[in-house]
Chains A and B, each alone.
Chain A
Amino acid sequence: MSQTQEKYVGQPVERVEDAALLTGSAMFSDHLPTRTGTLHAAILRSPHAHAEIASIDVSAAKAMPGVVEVLTGEDLRDISDPFLIVLREPILQWALAVGKVRYVGEPVVIAIATDRYRAEDALSAIEVAYRTLKPAIDPEEAAAEGAPVVHEDVGSNIVSTRDFVYGDPDAAFAEADRTVKLKISYPRNSHTPIEGFVAAVAYDPATESYDVQSNFQGPYSTHTVISKALRVSSSKLRMRTPNFSGGGFGVKVQVFPYIVLMGLASRVTGRPVKWIEDRLEHLSGATAAPNRIVSIEAAVRNDGTITGFRFDQLDDYGAFLRAPMPGPLYRMHGILTGAYDVKNLSVTNRLLLTNKCPSGMVRGFGGPQMYYAIERLVQRIAVELGLDHYEVIRRNLVPAGVFPYRAAAGALLDSGDYPAALEKAANEGKLEELRKRRDEARAEGRLYGIGYAAIVEPAQSNMGYLSNILPLEERRKNPKGGAVSNATVNIDPLGTVNVTADSIPQGQGHMTVLSQIVADNLGLEPGDIHVNLEHDTAKDAWSIATGNYSSRFTSSTAVAADRAAKKARAKLARIASQTLNVPPENLEFGNGRIYAADNPDNSINLYRVAGSAHWTPGNLPDDMEPGIREIGSWSPPELEPPNDKDQINSSLTYGFVFDFCGVEIDRDTGEVRIDKYVTMHDSGTLLNPKLAEGQVHGAFAWAVGCALYEEFAYGEDGSFLNGTFADYLVPTAWEVPEPQIVHMATPSLVTPLGAKGVGEGNCMSTPVCIANAVCDALGVENVTLPLSPDKVSALIHGEERPPPEGVETPPAPKGASDRVIAGTGEAFVPAAQEAVWDALLDPEKLAAVIPGCHALDRVGENEYRAEVTVGAGPVKGRFKATVILSDMDPPNAATLSGALTGLLGLSEGTGRVTLTPRDGGTALAYDYGIEVSGTVAAVGGRMLEGAARALVRQFFERLASVLGGGPAEAPEADAPAALWWRRLLAALGIRR
Chain B
Amino acid sequence: MPQLSRDTRHAISFTLNGKATSGHAEPRMLLSDFLVHELGMTSVHVGCEHGVCGACTLRIDGTVSRACLTFAVQVDGKRVDTVESLSPEEGGLSDLQKSFRRNHGLQCGYCTPGILMSLDAYLEENPKPSEAELRDMLSGHLCRCTGYVNIVRAVMEHVGNSP
Contact = CB atoms under 8 A, between A and B. Distances in A.
Interface residues of A, number: 59
Nearest to A248: B108
A807 interface: no
Interface residue SS majority, chain B: loop
Contacts of A19: 92-93, 101
Nearest to A23: B87
A299 interface: no
Contacts of B49: 278-279
Interface in A662-707: 690-691, 693-694, 696-702
A859 interface: no
B14 interface: no
Contact of A24 (B28, B82, B102, B142): B82
A330 to B, nearest CB: 26
Nearest to A512: B104
A247 B108 contact: yes
B43 A24 contact: yes
A734 interface: yes
A18 B106 contact: yes
B104 A24 contact: no
A211 B47 CA distance: 26
A733 B142 CA distance: 8
Interface stretch (B59-67, B109-117, B120-128): B109-117
A194 B55 contact: yes
A725 B145 contact: no
Nearest to B51: A874
B29 interface: yes
Contacts of A278: 49
Interface stretch (A27-35, A47-55, A97-105, A176-184): A27-35
A987 interface: no
A31 to B, nearest CB: 4
Contacts of A194: 45, 47-48, 53, 55, 108, 110-111, 142-144
Contacts of B107: 247, 507-509, 694, 698
B148 A726 contact: no
B142 to A, nearest CB: 5
Interface residue SS majority, chain A: loop
Nearest to A703: B147
A193 B108 CA distance: 10
A32 to B, nearest CB: 10
B21 to A, nearest CB: 15
Given A21-B109, A22-B106, A117 B29 contact: yes
Contact of B112 (A14, A21, A31, A730): A21
Contact of B48 (A279, A697, A701, A735): A279
A506 B108 contact: yes
Contacts of B41: 24
B145 A698 contact: yes
A694 B141 contact: no
A694 B150 contact: yes
Interface in B79-96: 82-84, 86-87, 92-93
Contacts of A699: 147
Given A15-B104, A24-B43, A732 B50 contact: no
Contact of B104 (A276, A691, A734, A738): A691
A196 B141 CA distance: 16
Nearest to A695: B107
A17 interface: yes
Q: Give the 9 A-B CB pairs with smallest separation, nearest first.
A: A24-B43, A507-B108, A21-B109, A246-B110, A697-B147, A701-B147, A733-B138, A507-B107, A725-B52
Given A507-B110, A693-B104, 18 more contacts: A14-B101, A15-B104, A18-B101, A18-B106, A21-B106, A23-B84, A23-B87, A24-B83, A25-B43, A194-B55, A249-B144, A690-B104, A724-B50, A732-B148, A733-B152, A734-B138, A734-B139, A738-B152
